[in-house]
Amino acid sequence: MRGTAFIRFITVSTLALVAGCQSASPPPPAQNTAALATMERVALGANACWFKSGDAAFKAYRLAPELNSFSGRPRILLVKRNSPESRPLAVVQAEGHPARLQAFGPLFNEPVGARMTTDIKRWAAGGNGCS
């Protein structure tokens, strides 16, 4: 019996040690705040919420992402749907780490501009979903 008690003690001790080393849940991954990662999140959100969703407010426009920028300023453009070569109506760009975001263009002065600004800020901060 003495040997059985020792084995039971070792088993219980080992289980307690293993349980003590395990954490409840892994820490969440850190949010990448570099310009490219930020603009990728913004581009994905804009594409899903404004264009692929069929949102009527954006029917007249198309998204033109320019994320591979040699200038260090990845950006997205909103241009006229039937005239993509024309001057952009909205530009959203970022640079640096952490990213400094800029958004400008005449579309931001339209009624949809406030909504665009809110969405862009949410996506840049790591949030998702559509308003």
> What per-residue confidence (pLDDT) applies to 18?
43
Mean pLDDT, to the nearest integer, of 16-34?
Answer: 56
Residue 120: closest CA among 46, 52, 32, 26? 46
pTM: 0.75
Give the separation between CA 64 and CA 105, rounded to whole angstroms. 14
Per-residue model confidence as pLDDT tens digits over 33-58: 899 999 999 999 999 999 999 999 99
> What per-residue confidence (pLDDT) applies to 131?
81
Per-residue model confidence as pLDDT tens digits over 61-119: 999 999 997 788 999 999 999 998 899 999 999 999 999 999 999 999 999 999 999 99
> What per-residue confidence (pLDDT) applies to 14?
45
Beta bridge pairs of residue 65: 76
> What per-residue confidence (pLDDT) applies to 72?
84
